[in-house]
Amino acid sequence: MDIHTAAQQGVTENVSARGARVVTNKPLNPNDHLTVRSLLGNLRSRARVVYCQPLGSDSFAIGLELFVSIGEWTTPQAPQRKIA
């Protein structure tokens, strides 16, 4: 992991306990290791890039393998109250 590399944002298309598919505007190399943080939740995880597929001129689908995740990908929803 290079701490001098700028943070990069992406849009999550799919997520599970062991991995995620994220769309970004910059390619990553397979087997790169990075730190992942969810913007909507409190998840933090080390990850490995499994694949990088070009989707168009400026977007790439990145497959990530997550290691030792802590937290939730999104903020848990509050229970809805029924109004009678």
Please say if the pLDDT value at position 6 is more than 90.
no
Please say if the pLDDT value at position 33 is more than 70.
yes
Distance CA 80, CA 77 (A): 8
36 falls in which pLDDT band (50, 70, 90)? confident
65 falls in which pLDDT band (50, 70, 90)? very high
**Mean of pLDDT values over 2-9:** 62
Give the list of residues 6+ apart from residue 12 with CB closer than 8 angstroms, or none: 20, 21, 22, 73
Q: Domain ranges in the chain?
A: 11-70
**Mean of pLDDT values over 30-50:** 84
- Comparing CA positions, the residue from 46, 53, 48, 4 lying closest to residue 24 is 53
63 falls in which pLDDT band (50, 70, 90)? very high
Element containing residue 61 per DSSP (H, E) = strand 60-70
Distance CA 37, CA 46 (A): 9
